[in-house]
Amino acid sequence: MTKYLIGNWKANLDLAEVDAFVAEWQKVAPNLGEEKKMALAVPAIFYTYLYKKSPGFSVALQDISIFGECGTHTGEVTVENLRGIEPEFAVIGHSERRAQFGETNEVIWHKAQNLIRIGCKPIICVDLDQIKEMAHLLEKTPTDQYIIAYEPLDAIGSGNNLSGELLRENMAFLSQIFAPGVAILYGGSVKPENVNEYSGVVDGLLVGGASLKPESWAAIVEKF
Ligand code: PGA
């Protein structure tokens, strides 16, 4: 079974800090082996730069336009802009986008379909109150073409990570709602100190703050 380790840099780091991360990463990067897939979702401004640099990790996006074609969409990045530099993964529907940009499940579903069309796996973020509607929208989408990231709002960026025990209970509920075979990740204050709680409970992790430092990110990727 594939294990997904996805970091989300959010709107952090400048170019010098990105370069410093990559230089340090070369020194601390763990061996992923056969089963682990690791990617960092970076601010769009650094995406092509890192993609061309081959930094030793798969470079992912944090969002994509709802518009499926190039054209008159000032400020947007569409899937057609990604021709030739398609990412393997893109995070969509993060709670910050839902709260700060009013994104609904329906908007997020459209973005997912755009990404799937270019062969990119959307990592669709949801909290418990969004899962039924999202699962319904995804009913006709093949389960190997997308990934769900369960991110309890209170656990994000707060230090209040969900215990492994509670996550196990909630996963039983989630896997009843989503179609069998969908990979489900957990996100919310994952750190090297608590990562062991989640191995064997979920298919992977979505990590914010702790993915910004090569050492902590390497420890998480190694331990999971
Ligand atoms: P965090 O962020 O790891 O900093 O809590 C998780 C996320 O927002 O995806």
Residue 194: its pLDDT value, please?
A: 98
Residue 29: its pLDDT value, please?
A: 97
Nearest to residue 166, comparing CAs of 176, 152, 180?
A: 152
Residue 107: its pLDDT value, please?
A: 98
Q: Is the CB of 185 under 6 A from ligand 1?
A: no
- The alpha carbon of 207 and the centre of ligand 1 are apart by a number of angstroms equal to 5
- The alpha carbon of 77 and the centre of ligand 1 are apart by a number of angstroms equal to 23
Catalytic residue among 96, 103, 151, 197: 151
- Report the side by side order of strands in the sheet with 58-60: 58-60, 36-41, 3-8, 204-207, 183-187, 147-150, 121-126, 89-92
CA dist., res. 99 & res. 104, Å (int): 10
Task: Compute the mean pLDDT over every residue in the chain, rounded to the nearest whole number.
Answer: 97
Return the SS3 of 138: coil
Catalytic residue among 94, 103, 110, 197: 94
Residue 9: its pLDDT value, please?
A: 98
Residue 160: its pLDDT value, please?
A: 97
Using one digit for the tens of pLDDT, what is the confidence trace for 117-174?
Answer: 999 999 999 999 999 999 999 999 999 999 999 999 999 999 999 999 999 999 999 9
Residues (pLDDT < 50) of the chain are none
Residue 47: its pLDDT value, please?
A: 98
CB atoms within 10 A of CB 21: 22
**Terminal Cα-to-Cα distance of the chain (whole angstroms):** 13
Residue 215: its pLDDT value, please?
A: 98
- The alpha carbon of 105 and the centre of ligand 1 are apart by a number of angstroms equal to 20
Residue 151: its pLDDT value, please?
A: 98
Where helices occur in the chain by DSSP H, the ranges are: 15-28, 44-53, 95-101, 105-117, 131-137, 164-177, 214-223
Phi and psi (nearest 5°) for 24? -70, -35
